[in-house]
Structure 1
């Protein structure tokens, strides 16, 4: 593999695999009369790789990371187990995304999508039960979805596949329940894809359910008419307003979290 060069906070680095993984700081010779040594910055970021050592992306460390974790190289699977995420700044375990490898050789590490494709999948109407684990609507496992990949790339930014998989669920349940709060609470109850302990964590799963529900609320409205005297029935007409797919890529704002973050209430 060719060495991979990148720049973080004005410092140039080279990532190389020569029998072992190594990160080198690009340095320069100084004049002989220069008696003051140059300062060398210790990397304050996570180097995230594939199992084979190929460089995927770089995340900024927090102060807590510096004391709680040794080293700075982790595989994507290890970062996932640490529950780090870089796409919802207000959710727990957020780490700033500093750099993404866009080279051709890294493509097999991801299942690739555009936000238009995610929107198309989210707007496919399904019965609520189909979103359960291993059912056709289980996007992170479905062949038309993440297909078992840990990571997906959407418009050149990486995401955990299970985060994006919450979007079709949230949109589908909103169209069935027609109520944003109910979507969030059902998502909290079925956090694993099956009934279980209610998820009251401030982690990215709940944030992506809220993303999907907010998108659906803008896109779908409903006209409800009651018919029948002895046995009243609802006649529901769904009204669709086309919304840009890129809205699915917008992180949750502090106002949205305050209004709809029912897991924090």
Structure 2
């Protein structure tokens, strides 16, 4: 039996995992309370998210008003319900309350539930120039399926924070699209907006008969996150070139690393108001 203690709203709740099942032990929670505290205990307002097979706790989120206040569900169930905890302004947001401390400890069950990355590793994959067709499902640009990317994992751990793999997988597509738009347009703000529009149209990676997403989905927010990062870490300038003896100006986009802040942090109100094309 595995015992996991999770502090929720000031109370240390005891969860027990045994025979591929996790339950809240209110009796053990009550016994663990200091003797000078009133002997009362209430079921916490939380959803505990576990692994699919062994039901090992991974993290916990706060349900919104009018939802079932307490649940213990698997990552697959949460994914099917389109819940996310990393973009507060996007649809499906639930606040992240707790992460298993062993999530970054090698050799543990929580650690192996994720594939682990740094944001700089995402940058290394994203800045490689690719043809747009490479982002189709299973293509060389499809980070969520690539062996150097998500590799089929449902969840990735980004420097300690869990993400849906397909959410992070939007970033390489976004960065590549931004570079292409900036080279064509030459204007940063317009390139960001056009990247978001392209993500809404082809975000599922299917170039023909794909699904258009005009909602405030986390996919669209992650496309914007990637575009904002690309704008901060790329420059554009014009050079004179000659084609068939005809000189003309060409936009040249260059990568210059600044930081990964725009990748690490969720989209803010100002960026949403300016570039959230699904709202316009």
TM-score by length of 2: 0.86
Which position in structure 2 is the counterpart of 1:91?
90
* 5+ residue gaps, structure 1: none
1:43-66 Cα offsets, whole Å, 9 max, x none, are 211010001110110101111313
* 5+ residue gaps, structure 2: 183-190
Which position in structure 1 is the counterpart of 2:273?
258
CA distance in 1, matches of 2:2, 2:235: 52
Contact 1:115 1:246 in 2 (8 A): no
Which position in structure 2 is the counterpart of 1:56?
58
CA distance in 2, matches of 1:235, 1:61: 51
Contact 1:116 1:246 in 2 (8 A): no
Contact 2:192 2:231 in 1 (8 A): yes
Q: Against the structure 1 CA distance between its residues 141 and 233, is the aligned structure 2 distance closer, same or farther, given a 3 Å change threshold?
A: farther
| 1:44 and 2:51 matched | no
For residue 246 of structure 1, report the CA deviation from its aligned partner: 3.5
| 1:188 and 2:200 matched | yes
Correspondent of 1:116 among 107, 115, 120: 120
For residue 40 of structure 1, report the CA deviation from its aligned partner: 2.1
Structure 1 moving runs of 4+ over 3 Å:
225-236
Alignment of 1:1-265 (within 5 A): 1-19=1-19, 20-25=21-26, 26-28=29-31, 38-51=39-52, 52-66=54-68, 72-103=71-102, 104=105, 105=108, 106-178=110-182, 179-195=191-207, 196-228=210-242, 233-265=248-280
CA distance in 1, matches of 2:246, 2:276: 37
1:37-90 Cα offsets, whole Å, 9 max, x none, are 7432222110100011101101011113138xxx50110000000111000000
CA distance in 2, matches of 1:232, 1:187: 34
Contact 2:119 2:263 in 1 (8 A): yes
Contact 1:102 1:156 in 2 (8 A): no
Q: How many corresponding residue pairs?
A: 259
For residue 234 of structure 1, report the CA deviation from its aligned partner: 4.7
